[in-house]
Structure 1
Amino acid sequence: MTAIAAEPTARGQVVIDAPVSEVWACVSDPVLMAEFASELVSCKWLSSGAPEVGARFSGSNRNGWRRWTTTCTVVECEPGLRFAYTVRTPFKTLISRWEYEVSSVPEGCLVTETNWLQVPPWFIPFAIMITGEPDRVGLNKANIASTLANLKRYVEEGRS
Structure 2
Amino acid sequence: MGARFTGGNRHGRIRWSTHCRVTECEPPHRFTFVVTESRTAWGWILEPAGDGATTVVAWREKVGEAALPVRLLQRSGILGRDRETLMRDGLERSLDRVKEIVEQ
| TM-score interval for Structure 1 and Structure 2 normalised by the shorter chain | 0.7 to 0.9
Q: For 1:105 and 1:129, how far apart are their aligned partners in 2?
A: 42
1:6-32 deviation digits (Å, cap 9, x = unpaired)? xxxxxxxxxxxxxxxxxxxxxxxxxxx
Other-structure match for 1:111: 56
Tell me, yes or no, if structure 1 residue 144 matches structure 2 residue 91: yes
Can you give the 5+ residue segments of structure 1 that lack an aligned partner in the other structure?
Answer: 1-52
- What is the TM-score with the length of structure 1 in the denominator? 0.51
- What is the TM-score with the length of structure 2 in the denominator? 0.72
Query: Compared with structure 1, are the counterparts of its residues 133 and 88 closer, same or farther at alpha carbon in structure 2 (3 Å cutoff)?
Result: farther
Tell me, yes or no, if structure 1 residue 72 matches structure 2 residue 20: yes
Query: Compared with structure 1, are the counterparts of its residues 80 and 138 closer, same or farther at alpha carbon in structure 2 (3 Å cutoff)?
Result: same
Q: For 1:55 and 1:97, how far apart are their aligned partners in 2?
A: 14
Query: Compared with structure 1, are the counterparts of its residues 127 and 115 closer, same or farther at alpha carbon in structure 2 (3 Å cutoff)?
Result: same
Do 2:45 and 2:56's aligned partners in 1 also have CA atoms closer than 8 Å? Answer: yes
Can you give the 5+ residue segments of structure 2 that lack an aligned partner in the other structure?
Answer: none
Do 1:67 and 1:131's aligned partners in 2 also have CA atoms closer than 8 Å? Answer: no
Other-structure match for 1:102: 46
CA RMSD of aligned residues (A): 2.8
Other-structure match for 1:134: 81
Q: CA deviation at 1:128?
A: 4.1
Structure of greater relative contact order (alpha carbons < 8 Å, 6+ residues apart): 1
- 1:23-102, aligned counterparts within 5 Å? 53-89=1-37, 94-102=38-46
Q: For 2:9 and 2:82, how far apart are their aligned partners in 1?
A: 16
